[in-house]
């Protein structure tokens, strides 16, 4: 991607400034940021300065890199955000984290959200918001994810509602693995309703495990992304990690466990009541689902997810996080697809 042409100090600012800047030229600012560790600068700037261009285009600033010093020019607010994004990206590189377009975009988005200014600048009170697993350290990529991660660390039962790609299940699995590793819980139980999508379970080959595994594959994928495969397989074999359809939960009391129910919008009201009442001592439950994607007969009116949230939201120990298309952390086109089907995030409110 080609860089913008260098800007001369003698250029007429009115010809390049944003309309807001022309109304208040005093708000323009220029800062310089120096980086001590020059070995990371190639990764920080990106090939052909692609990372700097991405920040320029998103925040409307001009960035010039000379040696280990970066100068940023634009409005005061945008310059401050661009500086914070670059500093945070550099910190990630120093700790061995990889950065890509998605990570940069997430930090830019967080820099635009006042509630996350402390996280981006490193001035937040209290410990940073993160989840540590065997394979990676996970930090929030949106304001809603930050709130969700706080709830995962503090509430007994958490409902996570919203579209695909927002990290609902992935963050829950990561938190569960973190607590399993530290010994906070003794078991990790992952469940989904085995709802057919045009193909009946009985027509699939193999035993019961072979029949239900395709429905549970997203849970396996999240596990393998947060823990070495051999450890996942060993813990599954020992019973520390259990992956099963929701029907297998009936009659049990799930104590000393981190329990996750995925695709919860496809549970009936009876199944949801049964699942919630399995809660035991020293346990945590996370119920993830998209109320707009109900596949069971009867549709929305038969779904146990919306019914449960309506009944229990506000009770002590129960948290509810609502994600929107703005929180999608997969490829940016996924967010645009969600908006194409459901409308802009700001127009949907908390209807879920």
CA distance 135 to 226: 5
Range among 50-64, 88-102, 184-198 rated most confident = 50-64
Query: For the chain, what percent of residues have pLDDT higher than 90?
Result: 30
Indicate whether 26 pLDDT > 60.
no
pLDDT, tens digit, for every residue of 56-78?
A: 888 888 999 888 889 999 888 88
If one compares 66 and 289, the residue with the highest pLDDT of the two is 289
Bridge partners, 319 (sequence order): 158
The answer to whether 170 and 227 are in contact (CB under 8 A) is no
Indicate whether 11 pLDDT > 50.
no
Query: Average pLDDT, whole number, for the chain?
Result: 79
The answer to whether 304 and 298 are in contact (CB under 8 A) is no
DSSP SS3 for 56: helix
With 0-12 CB in 10 A as exposed, 13-18 as middle and 19+ as buried, what is 184?
A: middle
pLDDT, tens digit, for every residue of 264-288?
A: 999 999 999 999 999 999 999 999 9
């Amino acid at each position: 991607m080609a860089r913008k042409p260098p800007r001369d100090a003698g250029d007429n600012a009115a010809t390049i400034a944003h309309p807001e800047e022309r109304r208040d030229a005093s708000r323009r600012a220029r800062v310089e940021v120096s980086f001590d560790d020059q070995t990371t600068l190639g990764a920080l700037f990106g090939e052909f300065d692609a990372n700097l261009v991405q920040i320029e285009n998103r925040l409307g600033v001009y960035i010039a890199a000379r040696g280990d010093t970066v100068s940023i020019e634009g409005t005061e607010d945008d310059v401050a955000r661009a500086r914070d994004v670059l500093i945070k990206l550099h910190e990630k590189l120093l700790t061995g984290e990889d950065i890509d377009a998605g990570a940069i975009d997430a930090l830019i988005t967080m820099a635009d959200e006042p509630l996350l200014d402390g996280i981006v600048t490193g001035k937040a009170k209290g410990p940073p918001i993160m989840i540590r697993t065997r394979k990676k350290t996970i930090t929030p990529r949106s304001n809603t994810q930050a709130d969700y991660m706080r709830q995962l660390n503090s509430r007994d039962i958490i409902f996570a509602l919203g579209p695909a790609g927002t990290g609902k299940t992935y963050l829950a699995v990561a938190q569960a693995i973190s607590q399993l590793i530290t010994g906070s819980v003794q078991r990790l139980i992952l469940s989904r309703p085995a709802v057919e999508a045009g193909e009946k379970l009985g027509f699939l080959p193999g035993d019961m495990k072979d029949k239900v595994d395709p429905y549970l594959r997203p849970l396996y994928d999240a596990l393998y992304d947060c823990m070495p495969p051999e450890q996942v397989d060993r813990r599954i074999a020992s019973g520390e990690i259990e992956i099963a359809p929701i029907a297998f939960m009936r009659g049990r009391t799930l104590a000393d466990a981190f329990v996750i129910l995925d695709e919860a919008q496809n549970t009936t009201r009876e199944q949801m009541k049964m699942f919630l009442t399995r809660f035991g001592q020293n346990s945590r439950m996370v119920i993830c689902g998209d109320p707009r994607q109900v596949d069971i007969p009867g549709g929305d009116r038969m779904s146990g997810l919306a019914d449960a949230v309506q009944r229990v939201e506000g009770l002590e120990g129960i948290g509810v996080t609502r994600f929107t298309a703005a929180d999608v952390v997969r490829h940016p086109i996924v967010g645009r697809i969600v908006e194409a089907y459901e409308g802009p995030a700001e127009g949907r409110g908390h209807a879920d």
